[in-house]
Amino acid sequence: MSFESKVNILLVDDYPENLLALEAILESLGQNLVRATSGAEALRCLLNQDFAVILLDVQMPDMDGFETATFIRQREQSRHTPIIFLTAFSSSDNMVFKGYSLGAVDYLFKPIEPEILKYKVAAFVDLFQKTAEVKRQAVQLAAMNAELEKREEMFRSLSACSPVGIFLTDTEGICTYTNPRYQAICGVTLKESLGNNWTQKINSEDQEQISREWYSAFREGQEYKGEFRIVSQEGLERWVSVSCSPMLEQHQVTGYVGTLEDITKRKQAEEEHIKLICEQTARQEAETANRLKDEFLATLSHELRTPLTSILGWAKLLRQRKFDEKATSNALETIERNATLQAKLIEDILDVSRIMRGKLHLNLCPVNLVSVISTVVDSVQLQTEAKNIQLEYIIEPIAVEEIENTSFSSSSAFVLSSPFVVSGDINRLQQIVSNIVSNAIKFTSSGGRIEVRLSVLEENLEIQGKGEVAANSMYPTVSYVHMTFSDTGNGISPDFLPYIFERFRQADGSITRNQGGLGLGLAIVRHLVELHRGSVWAESPGLSQGATFTVKLPLLKARASENGKGLSRNQAESASRSKSGVMNEGSS
């Protein structure tokens, strides 16, 4: 151990030459050598300095070495300073005994052996330095202990007054300390809060999951954060928020420190806020529903009166006047057309009523969609010609292999020869197609275009939890028929698109006045499609950009025909070509 500061060594002798000799011997120690030529001078030196060792001559005038040593020992600061007596005149035992009795640590006779003196003095110098270092470290330790006590007291005060619960755990998640707030929140004593008994306070519904997450975080040395309910001994349920972080020492987890907050009031406020929002939403929805129903009733009244007025008017004219054959025919045609329109309105209302009461049922049988769409397309041909609308009906060809081994038991030859066969109610399927096509004609201006496309698509069954299936996977596929209806009409606003299939919904009330109708057709379409285990959706780039409606229905599963024979390749190819073509304005 090395020390930067020099220590003091006091040399006391009444002969200057002896002092020079002592300095020559001790100079190599590199310490601070202080001279004194008398006992009185030595005592004056002790008043201002501390010395590691004193070399004191015994024979001195006025005050000899023994008297000087006596005064040195009387002074508290120098009571334990080592004294080595030096003498050249007496070696009697009495003199030596007297020197040791005065507190001397050694007694050397002149002439002095330089090496012995140097080593003895060096030993006391080293002892003095080590003692000084020990005292310095003791002072530092005392200061550190005082600071630790201060910090500990501060921690106790903060912990006791903290508005949140504080706890400490070991590396296994076992609680080793809790503050009063923690105990108050949990409703337990200090002893009850320690260990792992706290998990028993968790609400039984959350206990297993919270405990698993808690100990999992501790095993992985990760932070834990959670909100859950606890139940006090009095049975009171509280919501708490727990946050816990690992304490690290040299990159090793030595324990965890965490906080516990009572968030019951916050949770209650959130629940009340959610309840209020739900009530407001329900009120708004009820108000919207009432408004829509009022608008619907107004529309219904208008739509029912319009054809009825025409029917009654012409019936009255026919009764009162005599018309020629042509006028009479036109009148009867007008009455028939308006009666048919009114019957359609009433049928839509009845359908909606059946849907709302769950009383709408299907008569299922194998249905060829090619013939269904053809029937509808033929029925609206006059309408499209009147509005100068181009109507295209496209049947996409499918691979022969897809239908080569497929057969259906049916008495209809056309059903047997078509791959576009579903299990459904033919009248309701025709209603679906008719409603969508009529809607497209209604909202497509003169010179516009409508396309009806029929196709078959195969889709892989999704692997649960994956969302995608790799190409060429061994998972089964399901075939669907897609009926796509595209037009170049008014389009659909992005804001209204999500509500396009809802009952009593119309994007603009003026539509009813301009175009007619109750706005029930698409709602009926959606319900009928879903009854057929299918789906329907609408797409539109925006207003004045047209719209596309797609109906997706599951293809009827293949099963053996009554005679056990499948379709031949020629029959399949003929089926893929059947009805393929384009129906333009003025053609069929």
Q: Mind listing the pLDDT tens digit for each residue in 528-542?
A: 999 999 999 999 998
Mean pLDDT of the chain: 79
- Please say if the pLDDT value at position 564 is more than 90: no
List pLDDT tens digits, range 427-475: 889 989 998 998 899 899 999 999 999 999 887 655 444 444 444 445 5
The first and second tokens of residue 294, run together, are: 């009022």
The first and second tokens of residue 169, run together, are: 């755990």
**Higher-confidence position of 235 and 553:** 553
- Sign of the dihedral through C-alpha 495, 499, 505, 511: positive
- Per-residue exposure over 376-400, b if at least 16 CB sit within 10 Å of its own CB, e if not: bbeebbeebeeeebbbebebeebeb
When mean pLDDT is compared across 149-158, 412-421, 432-441, the lowest value belongs to 412-421
Q: How many Cβ atoms are within 10 Å of 484's Cβ, its own excluded?
A: 18
Average pLDDT, integer, range 29-46: 89
The torsion defined by the Cα of 575, 576, 581 and 587, in degrees rounded to 10, comes to 10
pLDDT of residue 546: 92
Residues composing the chain = 588
Q: Which residue in 370, 443, 447, 378 sits closest to 587, CA to CA?
A: 378
Return the DSSP state at 525. H
Domain ranges of the chain: 8-138, 162-262, 273-339, 361-577
Which CATH number is 8-138 given? 3.40.50.2300
- Please say if the pLDDT value at position 141 is more than 70: yes
pLDDT confidence bin for 64, thresholds 50/70/90: confident
Which CATH number is 361-577 given? 3.30.565.10
| Local structure of 455: helix, strand or coil | strand
Query: How far apart are alpha carbons 496 and 522 in whole angstroms?
Result: 13
pLDDT of residue 3: 47
pLDDT confidence bin for 354, thresholds 50/70/90: confident
Residue 110 has phi, psi (to 5 degrees) of -80, 145
Check if 8-138 and 361-577 are the same fold.
no
When mean pLDDT is compared across 155-159, 174-178, 415-419, 517-521, the lowest value belongs to 415-419
Average pLDDT, integer, range 99-122: 82
Query: How far apart are alpha carbons 257 and 254 in whole angstroms?
Result: 10
List pLDDT tens digits, range 499-509: 888 876 655 54
Whose structure tokens read 């078509």?
418
Does domain 162-262 fall under CATH 3.30.450.20? My reply is yes
State the CATH architecture for 273-339: Orthogonal Bundle (1.10)
pLDDT confidence bin for 93, thresholds 50/70/90: low
pLDDT confidence bin for 98, thresholds 50/70/90: confident
Average pLDDT, integer, range 201-215: 82
Q: In what order do the strands lie in the sheet with 237-249?
A: 175-178, 165-169, 252-262, 237-249, 224-231
List pLDDT tens digits, range 511-528: 444 454 556 788 889 989
- Opening angle at CA 18, ends 15 and 22, nearest 5: 145
List pLDDT tens digits, range 273-325: 999 999 998 888 888 778 767 766 666 666 667 778 878 888 888 888 888 88
Predicted TM-score (pTM) of this structure: 0.46
**Higher-confidence position of 585 and 63:** 63
pLDDT confidence bin for 421, thresholds 50/70/90: very high
pLDDT of residue 468: 43
| Distances from the Cα of 198 to the Cα of 165, 224, 426, angstroms | 13, 16, 66
pLDDT of residue 33: 92
Query: How far apart are alpha carbons 402 and 396 in whole angstroms?
Result: 13
Q: Which H or E run includes 277?
A: helix 264-320
Query: How far apart are alpha carbons 293 and 289 in whole angstroms?
Result: 6
Pairing assessment for the beta strands 224-231 and 547-554 based on DSSP bridges: unpaired
> If 0-12 CB within 10 Å is exposed, 13-18 middle and 19+ buried, where does residue 358 land?
exposed
Query: How far apart are alpha carbons 271 and 59 in whole angstroms?
Result: 101
**Higher-confidence position of 45 and 89:** 45
List pLDDT tens digits, range 395-414: 988 654 444 434 333 333 34
pLDDT confidence bin for 188, thresholds 50/70/90: confident
pLDDT of residue 406: 40
Spatial neighbors of 418 by CB under 8 A, at least 6 apart, are 368, 369, 370, 371, 575, 578
pLDDT of residue 571: 37
pLDDT of residue 394: 93
- Please say if the pLDDT value at position 212 is more than 80: yes
